[in-house]
Structure 1
């Protein structure tokens, strides 16, 4: 079987092709094409030696949905809600990201007020119909949406999580009056209480369906035209993949798919290297992402957002992101302080050294000046680049205004970038009760291995692992996942033994729906694995924690004990004497896909891979020092390297500072000890 994984990033589109029969691996990297993401994918596949018609498996992750939300490149959306609840979407939860900043503007709602329309109806919290749906008013609303040319409609009625009958009827009426409209209902998207969160998730899902459907249709067509006849799978934020058929309705699920693929790959690499605890550090051209694996499991969250105040309540890998990539712009603020990011030059025009019209200093330009990156080696020499523009913009925009020489300015840019990245690692580790000294740092992305050793030093992380293909690690993650669906629902009850039968019945019903979805994607019943979680909290509290459990549910007390332990770890506090309440249920169903098995590499000495030296600057030395240069492809298992050294490969550069040593293991990972 020939498998391919693709990651559509903000700067580059990465491709890995793995032939399981021969063990051969191909990797390619091409500039992303934001105006037509499918074009970048096809360019990357055509660059590989393997013909598209010979592929048996295609899976990809992308930032298309995320970028559409960030840039507000969305269709006009209509929202139908219960009379009197028109402004739930705009009021949100009445909080701000900067609580004490009176001048901070909150993000605009995704649906303008004139397009939020009400219908008379009411269902109570128990799911009983208090006021029947006014169907005549609903038809009037549907006709108004059609008249305005609004073809994307979200339906979120009060308490629809308890009884979705009215929402389903609204969807039927809209389909009758406005056949061209796409309609999604909150009771299908997120059957959970709290109007704002449910409405926000439903609106964002509705908004992304046309965006995602357009590029997926184009990609599927282009692949089919070139002879590929398999499923086009897409990574979703929960760590599995979905078919295009499922994504056509649950588009918001893939909004965080690219970073999630990287987290999956870092978990896999850590396990291969014998580490149960690992921090994934993914630095590309636009941003740096950090994820965490603890005791073999990736940390997850059930609430995340692209813009503060508008949550997406689908389960997602818990990833922290900052604008600190290779293309992040270095600039001086009004107070005269040097900053790096969050604005990025991205793929177009890119850093100044790329020779694509970029005229602002970036982190990559600073690395070129420091001698860490040889511009002649970008993409294995396939990309035109040179050092002179990098030197010019850093001298002009950073060195001269701050009274520094060129080297001091470039080193300052690097140190600030490392400080920013270290803060991201803190957000997934120390801020959540984890000690970074107990973890390995998995460094990937085109720029991650350049900075990883310095980030590890800053965070007291003893080991850095750089996988064989760090620049395409997220694409690798797309080969390591299962077809997956999950469901959640509100379930409020005291965590006492007499609730076991009700829990068992609810889980059985949720499992049935998931099995039906997976069967629709041609997954056999014997290939399905189910995982169950109970959302719990101390009675009277707001925040809940997800606690794993197994079926049949015959011991609620053991689940309760696990909740106390989880609460202690998360909040450094627990109280066994306090009553505990069940808040909700979550079931994940996975259609298990065969995973690729990668070959080991031959033994070899570092001397065989030595390619000379060049001058590079390290702040530990305070000067440019003669630095050994190695070719990664020629490094064999057991090869050891003492810093300072630089290892070149097509998709990335690995910097080993003076205080570090590195060794190549038998499966091709470089392990750096700092």
Structure 2
């Protein structure tokens, strides 16, 4: 019988495999090295290392950095852009903004498609969707033959106002499909039928450049899994927090641009809900960066303003994740003004922190934690040896500049790292109108549990939750998602005279389209769910705010009241006398997938059985070293109470409970750390 639910998180350095046995309710984790050139190899090696056969797998779901890495490294197929005459340079003009407003020399990265590969056709549709000039089919066919001679592998078609009427786009697409066999072709009206030509064109271009890459990757993985007797769907997590099957992944390739990052946010939401918290901040701290997400009232924040490289937005709905350059490998350095800094530059996996003994000379957060005794010299249950002497050598320069002891310098480095992360936590909470004191902090990733308690203390967050397998929590998140598609439409109307009947008809059409997608995914009708959103804004504003809408729609007044309340919470302002406009509609189509049933554990044994040793650990609170108990997490019984200071070690992470904190182990084997 098929009994394993397998989730895989394909990272740039490691591929994490999380296995849940449906029969015994046991969970297994394993890690293997990623193979960037052939990501599917890392997955297959991970399955072999875990001893899992394809025919025994019930569900296979994974997150991948294939799309993200391709965009960052610019290893993209030859792609052409075809647009309306006169609009060839929209993708290069962008919005005329830059990431660093005050740096005159800070240039935005060049477009994904060079100017020589951007082409124009005579055609025109006005703002209302009326065709002013039909596309010349002969001209389009000549262009197709030209693209064939050039050897293009993908084509993005983006005509002005095609979101209102896509007849010209579909005409060109049909001609290209006839002339360009085997070439990936996508249109803006099928990819993102929304207003704003730059955002629509940018999303379509990203979809086109990733289309062949993602299609080839999925095809290879599917063939390999079939050869290993796996018969189910290959599920891939996408930016919106759902999964797609291999059937629909090529159509919406751009949604995989933040695939791996989204899994961690989903795991954070699930763990917080399991512990009884509806408000939570997820802190996924790895070796190079920290990803921060926020859940309010059980829902993750969603944004449509995101990108991999600044200037080239991807407008698909995505879980809002704030990423900063703070990780275990982040390098400590001194700037020209003499201030101590931390990150964003990282030592990476090779050579890595100085204590790895691979030639790294810069002091990192990992070195600082090792020097202070918070990390053991034997990681991964003794599989990896750390060199404390090399860590001490790496920090000598920083200590001498400030006339610090080695321990004071290491502590200062970690305080700077924590301050950077607290700034990011404030950005996603306080600056969004949320009070951190009403949230739990879910700390995971290899380094998250080392820093979580200190961040919570600074932010006045009352509790820190550390999941049973923090180092592979993102992989676990891949098992906790449903199939999801988001259908969007630009719909401009004044709320004072909009017809509820017309709105309901628009939603019905969108749900029909969404239903078809779920049908293609093989989702049974009883497992389908539709959530409606209306994007609204005050008249004269540019930015809109999405609010959930009732199904069926009852009255526009009810939706208006929701908008005013949400606007007050988000921006500390609302005006019920101000005219409100509808800007767009969205339907999230969810195909519910069976989830693993996390087991409840009973208390067996005593805490003293988990005590490995004691060792001196430096804490600023105690003005020096204090003999600290070191516990082995798998042996800690449920319901145990642990007083800080204490260190808890496990295969994939280390948990620090500072002085003045206490922790308990809940029935799911989560560690809950509280301030007094």
List per-residue Cα deviations over 1:468-491 (Å, max 9, x = no partner). Answer: 111111111111111111110101
Closer/same/farther in 2, CA of residues 381 and 35 from structure 1, 3 Å limit: farther
Aligned partners of 2:124 and 2:563: how far apart in 1?
35
- Matches of 1:344 and 1:27, distance apart in 2: 26
Secondary structure (helix, strand or coil) at the match of 2:420 reads: helix
Following TM superposition, by how much is the alpha carbon of 1:568 offset from its aligned partner in structure 2, in angstroms? 0.4
Output one character per residue of 1:577-621: Cα deviation in whole Å (capped at 9) or x when no partner: 111110000001111111111111221432221111111111222
Aligned length: 672
User: After superposition, where does 1:123-138 map in structure 2 within 5 Å?
Assistant: 123-138=125-140
Contact conserved, 1:629 with 1:646, CA < 8 A, in 2?
yes
Assess, with a 3 A threshold, how the Cα gap between structure 1 residues 351 and 34 changes in structure 2: closer, same or farther.
farther
Instruction: Describe the shift of the 1:399–1:143 C-alpha distance in structure 2 as closer, same or farther (beyond 3 A).
Output: farther
2:148 aligned residue: 146
Whole-Å separation in 2 of the counterparts to 1:244 and 1:348:
33
Separation in 2 of the partners of 1:34 and 1:102? 35
How far apart in 1 are the matches of 2:465 and 2:452? Answer: 9
How does 1:509-548 map onto structure 2 within 5 Å? 509-548=509-548
Aligned partner of 1:478 in structure 2 is: 478
1:3, 1:57 within 8 Å by CA — same for their partners in 2? yes
1:318 is aligned, of 320, 327, 331, to 320
Counterpart contact for 1:496–1:557, Cα < 8 Å: no
TM-score by length of 2: 0.96
Q: Which moved more, 1:621-630 or 1:400-409?
A: 400-409
Partner residue of 2:433? 433
Identify which range, 408-417 or 220-229, moves more after superposition: 220-229
Asked whether the 8 Å contact 2:247–2:520 carries over to 1, the reply is no
Residue from 209, 218, 240 that aligns with 2:220: 218
Distance in 1 (alpha carbons) for counterparts of 2:581 and 2:504: 16
Residues 655 and 194 of structure 1, relative CA distance in 2, 3 Å threshold? same
Q: CA shift at 1:248, angstroms?
A: 1.3
In structure 2, C-alpha distance between the alignment counterparts of 1:44 and 1:331, rounded to whole Å: 36
Q: Secondary structure at the match of 1:324?
A: coil
Q: Could you tell me whether the CA contact under 8 Å between 1:6 and 1:59 is conserved in 2?
A: yes
Partner residue of 1:70? 72
Which residue of the partner structure matches residue 26 of structure 2? 24
Partner of residue 52, structure 2: 50
Equivalent positions of 1:557-636 (< 5 A) are 557-603=557-603, 604-636=605-637
CA distance in 1, matches of 2:418, 2:377: 21
Q: Quick one: distance in 1 between partners of 2:548 and 2:661?
A: 40
> Residue 153 of structure 2 contacts residue 212 of structure 2 at CA under 8 Å; is this kept in 1?
no
Cα 1:366–1:34 change in 2 (3 A) is farther
Distance 1:249 1:347 in 2: 34
CA RMSD of aligned residues (A): 1.6
- The DSSP-based 3-state class of the residue aligned with 1:173 is helix
Runs of 5+ in structure 2 lacking a partner? none
Residue 253 of structure 1: aligned partner = 255
Paired residues for 1:645-664 under 5 Å: 645-664=646-665
Call closer, same or farther: CA 1:666–1:341 in 2, change over 3 Å: same
CA distance in 1, matches of 2:113, 2:99: 21
Distance in 1, Cα, partners of 2:468 & 2:121: 57
Q: Distance in 2 between matches of 1:156 and 1:468?
A: 47
Separation of aligned partners in 2, 1:127 and 1:288: 44
SS at match of 2:384: coil
Deviation (angstroms), 1:402: 4.9
**CA separation in 1, counterparts of 2:198 and 2:125?**
17
Is there any run of 5+ residues in structure 1 with no aligned partner, and where? none
Structure 1 residues 132, 534: closer, same or farther in 2, change over 3 A?
same
Contact 2:373/2:615 (8 A) holds in 1: yes
> Residue 582 of structure 2 aligns to a residue in which SS?
strand
Mapped to 1, the partners of 2:226 and 2:152 lie a distance apart of 31
Partner of 2:638: 637
Whole-angstrom distance in 2 between the partners of 1:145 and 1:284: 43
- Secondary structure of 1:250's aligned partner: helix
Equivalent positions of 1:268-287 (< 5 A) are 268-287=270-289
Give CA-to-partner distance per residue, 1:421-477, whole Å, 9 cap, x none: 111211210110101011000011111001101111111111101111111111111
CA distance in structure 2 between the aligned counterparts of 1:48 and 1:326, rounded to whole angstroms: 26
Counterpart selection for 1:207 from 206, 209, 212: 209
Aligned to 1:227: 229
- Deviations for 1:57-84, whole angstroms, at most 9, x for unmatched residues? 1101122212222222222321100000
